[in-house]
Every structure is written in C-alpha cells, then in structure tokens.
Structure 1
Amino acid sequence: MKSGRYVAVAAAACMGWVQGACAQAEWKLATGYGAGSFQTENIRRFAQDVQTATAARVRIAVHPNNMLVPMAGIRQEVASGAIEAGEVILSSLAAQMPLAEADSVPFIVGSYADARRLWKYQRPLIEREFARNGLVVLYAVPWPAQGLYARQPVRSTRDLRGLNMRTYNAATERIAELVGARPVQVAMTEVGQALAAGRFETMVTSSVTGAENRVSAHLKYFYAIYAWMPKNIVFLNRRAFDALAPADRDVVLKAAEAAEARGWAMSEDADRQALAQLAKEGMTVEPAPLELRQELRRYGERFSLEWLRKVPQEANLLFVPYFTGYQAASSAAAR
C-alpha cells in the first residue's frame, strides 16, 4: 500500500511539472547510408543538438547502414509510425511524388548556388506532399555534384561517341544515348572490378564516389560538369512531432535548420577533399571545357522539357520560378 502511494504521488508530481519535463521522447531514425558518411555524421550532430537543447527530453537514436529498415521501406515505416524519423535520397520517392525527382534531372544546376536556388523553390512543394502523408520535412543536404570521368581528354560530347559508359539508372542511360556512348550497367560495388576488366572507359558520378573507389588507377580525367546534385532528405512522423511540447518542437526545427546549413557546408568540403585526393593520385581535375559545357546546357534544356511533358503541373510549379531566378542571377553576375 505504501509503495502504491509513492507511485501515485510521483505520477501526480510529474503531471504538475511543465509539460514534457518527465516523459521523454525516444525516437528511432533510420538511414540506409554508412556510419562514416558525412550525411550520417550530420544526422548524429542534429540528434545531439536536439538532446542537449531539450535537456534529454527528446532523444534520437540513429541507425545507419540499413540496419533498422532497408532504405526502400523507410518512408512508409515513418509514415505509419513504426519508427519516428528517417533519411532517404529524395529522388527515390519519385514514384509517390514526382517533384522529388527534380534534383536528379540532369544538367539543370551548375553549382551549389544553383542547387540552393532549386531547393528554395522545391522545398515548399515537397513539404506539401510530405504533409499529405503525415510527415514533417526536417532538412535536405545534397551530395557533391556528379562529374564526368574518362580515360582520355574530353573537349566535347563527340569525344564520348562509341565509348562504353558506365550507367546505373535511367538518367545515366539517357545521357549515354544522347552522347552516342554505349551504356554498360555496373553497380557501384563493382566499379573497381569492371574498370580493371576494361568494361567501360567513362562514367558520370560524384567526386566522393570516385575517390572512395580509387578510380584514378584507371580513369585519368575528371570534369566538373555538375550533371546533377541529388539530395538526401530527413523527415519525421507528424504525430511524433505534434506529441512534443511546443518549446521542444521549436528546438527540433531550429536544430534541423542548423543541420541543413552545416550539411551543405560539409558536402562542399567533402567535394573539395575528394577532388584534392583525385589530383594527388595523378588524375587531371578541371572544369568542363566551354564547348562541352554549352552542349550539356542544351541537354539540360532537353531533359527539363522531357520531364515537363511527364509531369507538367509539378514541373511548371518548380522550373518556371527556378529558371527565372537563374536568369536573374546570371544577369546580375554579368553586370
């Protein structure tokens, strides 16, 4: 009886405290990316920021490497409430929301500044789609831009004709088709082996991927063509978010804002480090030649028109303001 009274008194005392002071939110956040990825490190720092600022009322356990949920199932598991938060590459959600594919339309962005501008217009549209599925967008961070690797110098797309080009999705297959290369499907885990076997002479992927896979042993040129800059997006179950005290909700959103700014800086730093490693290993690292840039810009217009025909309403909502802003920024830079 006495112990029962103590439990009742403790419960009553807890109810009398400021909302959220006793009950802790224990969240699971699933990601398919490795523990050593800069994206995962950024998530860990976000989780720590939230825990510190809420005096541990909100704790976020980060589960990398597909250990908790395979990446393909993360969005659904978060939406259902089975887990509270997750991270996926945004373009993987294109089947459910076509707007998610916009940052993987080739040759639309030409810099981190362009990628930021695209996200500025894409974010409110993505937030609307996520909200319909009971999800809250926390932040998004891009991977370094996809560049062009080759065994021989490339001055224009004519230099790619007839070459075997490593492809891994519909976009890279379309690029190979347009430049007259032969597409060769190679998974990232098989890149080194395929290069050693001479299966391809050129590919489009990021500086980080190339550095991690030591492709400089076989490919000698890297061109910063900014083919696209895919983003990872971190999101939260709406019910879990709404269950927090208002002050703690504010903490989560502020920590997410800080994580987005930090993550973009980390991405740029990862790109610089990877490019420096490629150069140190003997690879020629340089901007794309003028003729190649002009050709790829025309391909970008073609890709965006193809995407516009596929999802006309969504594309207009995004690309009209984006390209208007792009032209304004280009004009300002030229003055």
Structure 2
Amino acid sequence: MRRRSLIALAATLPMAAPAQTMPPLATPRQGAGQWIAATEYPAGAMPAEGLARLAEAALPLPITPRFDAPDGVRSAQMPRAVAEGRFAIGDAFAGALGEAAPVFLLSSLPFLATSAAEARKLLAAARPAYAAALETLGVALLHCTPWPPTGLWSRNPVTSPEDLRGLRVRTYDSTGTETLKALGAAAERMSFQAVAAGLANGSLDAVLSSGDGGAGRRLWEHLPHFCEIGYAMPVSLAFADPARLAALDEAQRAALEAAVVRTEAGLWTLLETRNAANQARMRQNGVTIEAPSPALLSALKAAGATAVAAWEAKAGTAGGEILAAYRAA
C-alpha cells in the first residue's frame, strides 16, 4: 500500500480553526504523552476493532482506544475534536461527514459497492480524495475500516415496498434518508449513539445498519428482524492529530506507519468471515434474518439510483472521476 509518510503529510496540514457555528467541545487538549484513540462505536464493532488492533501493533507508541463516544463526541464531531488535540486519533463513519465534503458519502451510496471486492476497488479509487478532504478538516488519514453489508433491522418483518410506508427508520447519511423517504418511510439521519434512546422510547421502528459485532448487540434487544437488502458496504475513517504526528520520534513514527498498514490489511481479512459470524450470533440471540422480496429490492435500487445521480451532480467532476476509476478497475 503506497502512501505518503505520515510525518511528511502532517507537515502539509493546516491547523484548522474551530468552526464558529459549533459550541466548544468539553474535553481539554491532551498532554503530549497521551494517545487516546476514540470512536463512537462500541467494543466489538469493526471501527473499535480497528483502533484496538492499531494500538496493539503500534507499540512502543502507547495508544489507548476508547469506545462509545467518549466525552459525547460522535462521528460528525470527531475530526474537529482531533484537530483541536482533544484526542490524538479519532474514528468516524465516513457518511457522517457528508456535510463537510460529498466524497465522504461515496462508500455508502446505495447499491454502488455491495461485495467486499467492490468495496476494496471503491476504496482504492477514493482514498486520495478521502485524505485530501480530511486534510481540509485539519487531520491526517491513517487507515480505513470496512463494514459488513448494510441491512435493515426492524421490530416487524420488512420484506416488501408496502412495509416501508410510514416506517420510522434511522439512517446513517443523507443519501440513505433520501432513498427511504422516496419509498414512503419516515427516515431520519442520526448517529449510532442516538439510536438507543429512539429504540427505548419507541420513536424508532427500524435501523439501517449492518449486523456487526457490538453494534448488533445494541439492536437485537429491540429489533428482532433483519432484512438482507445488501444496501452498501461503507467505510469508517481513522485519522490523527498532525501536531502529534509531527512530534513523533523516529522509532515511534516507524511503529505507527507499520501499524497503520497492518491494521487495515487485517481488517479486510477479518471482513472475509465477519458477516457469517455476525449472522450466527444474531440467530443465537433470536434475530430472524430475511431476504427482501424482488419487489422490495427493485424499489430500493430504483430509489437508490436517484440518490446516486443526485450525489454525482453535487460531487461534480471530482466525484465523476472517482466513479469512472472505480467502474474501470
């Protein structure tokens, strides 16, 4: 995997000024010896697994992973928290950053990449754009974390287009919201950390998400049905505070750069068996896994195509070039 040195990259990054429209984050800047790596996802989910593997592989650099949105920082806030030095490393679901740049929505575009092979090709085409978009937010890309296929968790079975009408469903990005609203669902984008409250108080009927690890364990307590719609295979992005990278000594730099490559390679290997393991665990916990009817899949793909076209128009030439490279690979 060819990439610029993390230290060389850090030297090129602007120190981003805090956005004036956002309130200050509560967490103070870490001391130089603290390397906290934060994600909003629970232990066992793929992004948390990525941070845990990075910490293990990067020794002697002391990285401490923290899960479940430490200090309330969720994916959309994570780049700012890292740029401000609140955490040394952060992980964010790419789609949650879509308001910052259209490219962050790419991996979760409906039915664009629905297999591991396709997801890897899409990532290869998009990686430079991810890195550049993160640079504008004042952080440096480390590794990318693949997610298993996105499906639809629900209180009641969802196997036909009619089952979507009026369904109060959580989505993870704007294109998912648009796709499901087009089919009559009451779709709302929200972070994963916000889902628990909506399920507990009954304001949500369904959640667009994978069946992955710790994330799945939060869902099957309320949503005993999972429809395998194969919506997308999105990615999360891990990134670092460039000031921390620039301060590393030679041994620490070498350890981190090797750990980044090892971590991402290991996550793709893990993905090969992850979906089967997730499904076995889901069934053990009473989840019924269903296939969508041809009518439901057709309706979702038609609505998804409209969302993809809208993304292409918004992303312009740069987005078109990424899609062309992906489709030609």
- Shorter-chain TM range is 0.7 to 0.9
Q: For residue 141 of structure 2, what is the aligned residue in structure 1?
A: 137
Q: For residue 314 of structure 1, what is the aligned residue in structure 2?
A: 318
Determine if the alignment matches structure 1 residue 70 to structure 2 residue 73: yes
Determine if the alignment matches structure 1 residue 61 to structure 2 residue 64: yes
Q: Where does 1:296-315 land on structure 2 (aligned, <5 Å)?
A: 296-315=300-319
> 1:128–1:262: structure 2 CA closer, same or farther, 3 Å change rule?
same
> 1:282–1:77: structure 2 CA closer, same or farther, 3 Å change rule?
closer
2:263 counterpart letter in structure 1:
A
Determine if the alignment matches structure 1 residue 213 to structure 2 residue 216: no
Q: Where does 1:1-335 land on structure 2 (aligned, <5 Å)?
A: 26-33=33-40, 36-38=43-45, 39-51=47-59, 56=60, 58-67=61-70, 70-71=73-74, 72-81=76-85, 83-149=87-153, 151-152=156-157, 154=159, 156-157=160-161, 159-160=162-163, 162-168=165-171, 170-183=174-187, 187-193=194-200, 202-208=206-212, 209-215=215-221, 219-220=224-225, 222-246=226-250, 248-267=252-271, 269-325=273-329
- In 1, distance between residues paired with 2:259 and 2:108? 27
- In 2, distance between residues paired with 1:84 and 1:203? 31
Deviation at 1:282, TM superposition (A): 4.8
1:65 counterpart letter in structure 2:
D
Q: Normalising by the residue count of structure 2, what TM-score does the alignment of the two structures yield?
A: 0.74
- In 2, distance between residues paired with 1:301 and 1:108? 9
1:91 counterpart letter in structure 2:
G
- In 1, distance between residues paired with 2:117 and 2:140? 25
1:31 counterpart letter in structure 2:
A
- In 1, distance between residues paired with 2:290 and 2:228? 7
CA contact 1:91–1:101 (8 Å) conserved in 2:
yes
Q: For residue 12 of structure 1, what is the aligned residue in structure 2?
A: none
- In 2, distance between residues paired with 1:284 and 1:63? 32
Deviation at 1:192, TM superposition (A): 4.1
State how many pairs are aligned. Answer: 289
Larger Rg computed on CA atoms: 1
Structure 1: 5+ residue stretches without partners: 1-24, 326-335
**Higher share of residues assigned helix:** 1
CA contact 1:141–1:267 (8 Å) conserved in 2:
no
Q: Deviations over 1:248-284 (max 9, x none)?
A: 4333122111111222344554432331233334544
> 1:243–1:274: structure 2 CA closer, same or farther, 3 Å change rule?
same
Structure 2: 5+ residue stretches without partners: 1-31
- In 2, distance between residues paired with 1:133 and 1:163? 37
Deviation at 1:179, TM superposition (A): 1.8
CA contact 1:164–1:184 (8 Å) conserved in 2:
no
Q: For residue 20 of structure 1, what is the aligned residue in structure 2?
A: none
Q: Deviations over 1:81-104 (max 9, x none)?
A: 454322222223223232112122
